[in-house]
Amino acid sequence: QKREISNFDYLMYLNTLAGRSYNDYMQYPVFPWVLADYHSETLNLNNPHTFRDLSKPMGAQTVERKHKFIQRFNEVEKSEGDLSAQCHYCTHYSSAIIVASYLVRMEPFTQTFCSLQGGSFDVADRMFHSVKSTWESASRDNMSDVRELIPEFFYLPEFLTNANHFELGCMQDGTVLGDVQLPPWADGDPHKFILLHRQALESDYVSAHLHRWIDLIFGHKQHGSAAVEAVNTYHPYFYGDKMDLNNIKDPLIKSTILGFISNFGQIPKQV
């Protein structure tokens, strides 16, 4: 409010308070998608339609998608300790594989990604190759994709280029994966993308609406009735601080839960 701290610094501070750290891929700092315009030749930060709706989670960015997730929630009976527990999302907005896939063109993340994938790169069509197509997948097209961003999208142009010349494969349409495809307004320049993306994060629109996203990720809409109302509930196993593993006697169930958490991510501590 007093303009004494940037939105970037504030989000990093909240992530730290909530137990997120660069040292843990499973609890890596989480940042929001702030833009919805990845097709224009120029980026207009004075137009509200340029921005993502920060009051809604990624699963509710379109009306149709939101209703599908509400339908899923209503169809599943409540069941404790079961993989089919009642929730809107069975995948998470931040996990080790999401972090490694974003940063796959840089070491040591390349090796991390390959080890998580069983020793090799993923099928080319599933690799992170385009900012626009990743936004469309996470906000509209893919019901198992509700990913948010990581801090590097706002300061690190190097992760967008394949400077190490890794052979990332070839997509079904014949496109050979190399550098990440950027929106037209970036003019193919990773530095310009980062500059404009950071300006978007620090813009008046985001400054006025960022608290709504913070409510969803770190605040009162994270779980409980407020989360249900906001279409923002995740599988119970993702709420690490709500799971009392010490009371689970069956080692198979315990290892299943731990595997679930390590593969699919964790909700930050509520701050």
Q: 240: domain CATH number?
A: 1.10.1540.10
Whether residue 268 is contained in a domain is answered as no
**Is residue 83's pLDDT more than 70?**
no
Total domain count for the chain?
1
How far from 83 is each of 90, 138, 147, 179, 256, CA to CA, in Å?
9, 22, 20, 37, 10
**Is residue 108's pLDDT more than 70?**
yes
Whether residue 84 is contained in a domain is answered as yes
Q: What integer is the mean pLDDT of 31-35? A: 98
The rounded mean pLDDT for the chain is 91
Whether residue 270 is contained in a domain is answered as no
Residue 224 buriedness (CB in 10 A; 0-12 / 13-18 / 19+): exposed
Each residue's pLDDT tens digit, 125-159:
889 999 999 999 999 999 999 999 999 999 999 99
- Cβ atoms of 265 and 95 within 8 Å: the answer is yes
How far from 149 is each of 97, 98, 174, 224, CA to CA, in Å?
12, 9, 27, 24
- Cβ atoms of 235 and 89 within 8 Å: the answer is yes
Whether residue 1 is contained in a domain is answered as no
DSSP per-residue string spanning 208-261: HHHHHHHHHHTSTTSSSHHHHHTT--B-GGG-GGG--GGG---HHHHHHHHHHH
Whether residue 269 is contained in a domain is answered as no
Whether residue 153 is contained in a domain is answered as yes
Residue range of the domain that includes 147: 7-262
**Is residue 249's pLDDT more than 80?**
no
How far from 246 is each of 79, 96, 250, CA to CA, in Å?
20, 24, 10
Whether residue 2 is contained in a domain is answered as no
